[in-house]
Amino acid sequence: MRFLFILIFFFFCFNHYLFANNSLTEFLVSKPSMPDPRFQESVIVMFYHNSTGATGLVINKPLKNITINELFEVNNIKPPKNLIKKEITLFWGGPVKPEQIFFIHSSDYTNKNNLFSNDNYTVSQSPNILIDIAKNKDETYNKELAGNISLSLELLDTKNIILPFIILIMNQYEQIYSKPFRLLSTNKNYKAELQSLWVNFQYQNEFNPMHDHTGTYSFVIWLKIPTNFKEQSNKSIAKNSRSPDVISNFALQYTDVFGKIRELLFGMDKDREGQILFFPAQINHSVYPFYDEDDARISVSGNIGLIES
């Protein structure tokens, strides 16, 4: 989904008109000497503060994780099958009126009942956000994939955060390995463009077979890896086969000087989280399935192309 959201509890009473029109975007951090145990080590995002009162939410005290299915059952809404097992975090927002549930989500999702909104995030209490998820209005990316992944969602880098970072990596790559292409002898100038960006939620038994990408360069960033490739290789389905090392891993495929197909494996475990792999888009690659793990592997991928500047 393009909007990420968390559940929180509201702890200040507020005047809705003032809240919607005179909001601030400041953070209140408690001092180490805070005597009230309820607010010790708390970070509060402030929406409103003046002589009439204050409005805010504690944002750094998670209570527990609940599944989308549990949340939807309370509201008598049937969730899409591909979201049933996904989890969101329930946060303690403060001591006042804890029975009220509020949502903080990115501002690319909007509705007329928002309580507070700026360019970065929105606060809402409307159940419409759940209904919209149930109607599956997300920009799915599954049809663009080569393999079988339950949930793949298109991402929009509206703040232009990803491309400058990727260009730095691209420049380093070309200094070491040179360009994987040859520009025609013309007077035209070219620049890099982020052509596509998506996030994959890969569950057990799912895979992407050998394939390549469009564009000039591709990259993958591993955000969450719930498995360990060494433990996976000891499972009977792997250790009793001719290829025990490929299970659960990411692989680049290439041909050697004799024309034989070879693989360069990248072991998938928690040490790989936060790493980025950058490679020419025409290199074949694949993602092998993992087994006996209910949690999803989460990765962000993208393609970089060259356009006339």
Question: What CATH number is associated with residue 188?
Answer: 2.60.120
Among 100, 134, 168, residue at a domain's last position: 134
Residue type, 291: Y
Q: Is the same domain home to 124 and 172? A: no
pLDDT computed for residue 272 by the predictor: 95
If you average pLDDT over each of 34-38, 112-116, 199-203, which comes out highest? Answer: 199-203
Among 104, 134, 164, residue at a domain's last position: 134
Among 134, 167, 198, residue at a domain's last position: 134
Q: Is the same domain home to 188 and 42? A: no
pLDDT computed for residue 127 by the predictor: 60
Residue 217 reports pLDDT greater than 70: yes
Count of domains forming the chain: 2
Please state, for a pLDDT cut of 70, what percent of the chain lies above it.
79
Residue 203 reports pLDDT greater than 90: yes
